[in-house]
Structure 1
Amino acid sequence: MTTSAQERRTRILDFLRGVSSIRVVELAAQLGIPAVTVRRDVAALADEGKLERTHGAVSLPVEGTDTVAGGGSQRLIGMLVPTVGKYFDEVVAGASAAATAAGARVILGIAPYGADSDRAQIERLVESDVDGLLLAPNWKPGPGLVGADWLAELPVPTVLVERRAEPDGPAAELDAVFSNHRHGALLALRRLSDLGHRSVLLAARRDTWTAHEVRAGYAEAVRYLALDELPVIDVPNTTDPGSAVDLGEVAAQIAGAVASGVRAVLVHNDQDAIQLPGLLRSHGLSVPHDLALLSYDDVYAALSDPPLTAVAPPKRAVGAGALELLLRRLHTGNTLPVHQIGLLPTLQIRASCRGSV
């Protein structure tokens, strides 16, 4: 016989009257109800102020205390990122600030590039009885972005952050908030085209979803703006274990292109771009006099000498938007259509670009 939601929730409250607190997974085992169902019931009861959740455990409210009701009340959100200290610092900061404003809390997991630990880290977050997940999985570009299908089987609502699944896979049905890096590449090339450059070189990595999108956006922008088609210079993938960074070789390839008449280059990302002006000087080239240099990410670009014009993805807005979308999903359930929201980068104009010579 099917048990109604009201009957299940009454059983949960009755059980909690006999214990001080209990983890959701243990509560589910005691009641013989699937954990995913208990999580939904617990979230609903918490929103009604009938129970409290702390660090993955649930209990009845202490008499005389207030429990805030609402879409973000007492929500615990798990967030997975591939790194901190660089690009994703701002994404995490945006999500954390939005969570605080909504009365929710973010707990962070890190699955480093190249470690193949996404699934293990996500399982740990789920075991912490999170209500939902914000995920930036370490998808490796290639023929399709592989490794996404199992995400569609997660037991809690999930929003992809700075990622978008392939349209023909199960994970394509997940909510997503991301920077439109293809538009960012178009911004960069349009700026250089407006300065008179018809040949714009791209030096880029291959190891991340952002790199994949920047490369695709560059190819689209070259066609759209009718620029010269040039081979892409591969920047070493420093996120791969054991890989060596040889930006000296990248600088040599750029110098060779300059000798052939190229006077502009877009570099992904700025951690690499800020090293190039010094390396190019050893080839007798100065930025921006001999070469216009534009970087992608705008994490360190302003600290370069000269300061670099840079594409700036809306990193904080992506984090905040993903958190807000997840809270809406938790509040409304399946009545909310799948949202896949691309936010447009901006271009920060600095001293590293000038017109073609």
Structure 2
Amino acid sequence: MREPVDLRRQRILAAVQARGAARVRDLADELQVSVVTVRRDVEELTREGRLRRGHGVVRSTLPAQEAPAGDLADGDRVAVVVPERHSYLTETLHGARTALEEAGMRMALHIAPQVAGAERPLVERALADGARGLLLAPRWHTRAAEEGDYDWLAALEVPTVLMERRPRRGSAAHALDSVCSDHWYGAHLAVEHLVGLGHRRMVFATREDSPTARTLRAAFTDIAGTHPLLEESAWALVSEQAGREGPYTPDETADLPKLLRGMRATAVVLHSDVDALMVVQRLADDGVRVPEDVSVVAYDDVVAALATAPLTAVSPPKAEVGRTAAELLVRRLGESGGHPARRVELLPRLMVRGSTRRVDGDGTDGGADSGTDGGTPPRA
């Protein structure tokens, strides 16, 4: 016999008030009705002011001090571990938090200091506190530090998703879920944009103290080595403090204005864009104008748009990485075992601003040319 509507709604109201919050799909399972039916009931209770509705989540309207103990969030806590002072991941955290809140889960944030092995004790503490799942972005200054974490990461017994981290193929941690930006494609966007504007001699100056930085160096080396239109290219550290994988050759630690002049380079790609802003200032002090003398593309797009002359930048989908990772974790928490690992890659975009311009075939200034309005580079 079908349960009366009023009685079912009273049961929904009682369940939500008892927990403080509940997910629609959980209520549907408990009442043995469809999700659509629960949504209709929730809409009516919300219209009456008896519940508050979110994306997939229902919350009590009782004041916090009156709500009974046992809030849903206490039982559905997800720990997020990220490095301290890492502005790139701020947008990623916002994306993850939004997705977790929509799923009715609470995010417990842990900040790892800049010392080797800092993440492991934080993870162990989070698990002892009852975290049901983990979102992780270890700093991994060096490859050795990264590989030193593989065994304990692979042994974790709760669902875990890595953000902007991709363990080496065949390693113990290879089978962990991960969500990353496709940084090879980001490097490709930067090079094709500059080549499309006539640049044939360029410098790639990047960091080399994180997995993203190491991936970018490898990507630029690969692309430059096979591109039919590049006449000459070089890689160098963007600053003396940006490398952890040395030793480096003198050319790889060369002063950037001097390196650009020596190569007669007309373009430079700089990672990160915080470093890019500082390099542009150094170029100005050395009498090198951007974009009149050299075109600049930054990589990260955290603060590139805030420069006095906003910088063209490759923009990884930082917030979407966090959201996708959190959604994948929520999915894992609702699944039984035996499902294959997922390695998701999201494509960056190119945000064209005022720091790049066209040059003639001989490398002379050909006048300002934005080339594209972002996202798709011009064809060479």
Give the alignment's TM-score, normalised by structure 2.
0.70
| Cα distance in structure 1, aligned partners of 2:221 and 2:340 | 32
Contact map agreement 1:206 1:237 (CA 8 A) in 2: no
* Aligned partner letter, 1:130: A
- 2:263 matched residue in structure 1: 260
- 2:376 matched residue in structure 1: none
The change in CA–CA distance for 1:85 and 1:257 in structure 2 (over 3 A counts) is: closer
Contact map agreement 1:175 1:340 (CA 8 A) in 2: yes
- The Cα shift of 1:130 comes to 0.5
Contact map agreement 2:74 2:106 (CA 8 A) in 1: no
* Aligned partner letter, 1:255: K
Counterpart check, 1:207 vs 2:209: yes
- 1:75 matched residue in structure 2: 76
> What does the per-residue CA deviation read over 1:213-235, in whole Å, with 9 as the maximum and x for residues that have no partner?
11111112213423245331113
| Cα distance in structure 2, aligned partners of 1:143 and 1:89 | 26
- 2:99 matched residue in structure 1: 98
SS state at 1:218 partner:
helix
User: Structure 1 unaligned runs (5+)?
Assistant: 1-44, 51-63, 242-248
* Aligned partner letter, 2:327: E
* Aligned partner letter, 1:348: M
Identity of aligned residues (%): 37
- 2:141 matched residue in structure 1: 140
* Aligned partner letter, 1:315: K
| Cα distance in structure 2, aligned partners of 1:151 and 1:116 | 12
Counterpart check, 1:343 vs 2:338: no
> What does the per-residue CA deviation read over 1:274-323, in whole Å, with 9 as the maximum and x for residues that have no partner?
12222112222100000001100000100112110000010000000000
* Aligned partner letter, 2:324: G
SS state at 2:212 partner:
helix
| Cα distance in structure 2, aligned partners of 1:150 and 1:344 | 30
User: Structure 2 unaligned runs (5+)?
Assistant: 1-25, 32-66, 245-251, 365-380
Contact map agreement 2:117 2:145 (CA 8 A) in 1: no
- Say how many residue pairs are matched: 291
Contact map agreement 1:144 1:166 (CA 8 A) in 2: no
| Cα distance in structure 1, aligned partners of 2:255 and 2:242 | 22
The change in CA–CA distance for 1:250 and 1:294 in structure 2 (over 3 A counts) is: farther
Counterpart check, 1:220 vs 2:236: no
Of 173, 176, 185 in structure 1, the residue corresponding to residue 175 of structure 2 is 173
Of 321, 331, 347 in structure 2, the residue corresponding to residue 328 of structure 1 is 331
> What does the per-residue CA deviation read over 1:42-101, in whole Å, with 9 as the maximum and x for residues that have no partner?
xxx999779xxxxxxxxxxxxx979999xx995210011113561111010000000111
- 1:36 matched residue in structure 2: none
> What does the per-residue CA deviation read over 1:3-46, in whole Å, with 9 as the maximum and x for residues that have no partner?
xxxxxxxxxxxxxxxxxxxxxxxxxxxxxxxxxxxxxxxxxx99
Contact map agreement 1:134 1:161 (CA 8 A) in 2: yes
Counterpart check, 1:283 vs 2:295: no
SS state at 1:119 partner:
helix
Contact map agreement 2:268 2:294 (CA 8 A) in 1: yes
* Aligned partner letter, 2:353: R
- 1:38 matched residue in structure 2: none
SS state at 2:96 partner:
helix
> What does the per-residue CA deviation read over 1:88-137, in whole Å, with 9 as the maximum and x for residues that have no partner?
11010000000111111111111133443111111111111101000111
> What does the per-residue CA deviation read over 1:223-264, in whole Å, with 9 as the maximum and x for residues that have no partner?
3423245331113464799xxxxxxx9794333323431010
Contact map agreement 1:277 1:305 (CA 8 A) in 2: no
| Cα distance in structure 1, aligned partners of 2:220 and 2:28 | 46
Counterpart check, 1:158 vs 2:160: yes
- 1:126 matched residue in structure 2: 127
- 1:88 matched residue in structure 2: 89
Contact map agreement 2:177 2:342 (CA 8 A) in 1: yes
- 1:17 matched residue in structure 2: none
* Aligned partner letter, 1:137: P
Two-structure CA RMSD over aligned residues (Å): 3.0
- 2:276 matched residue in structure 1: 273
The change in CA–CA distance for 1:220 and 1:47 in structure 2 (over 3 A counts) is: farther
Of 284, 290, 295 in structure 2, the residue corresponding to residue 292 of structure 1 is 295
> What does the per-residue CA deviation read over 1:189-218, in whole Å, with 9 as the maximum and x for residues that have no partner?
110111111122011111111101111111
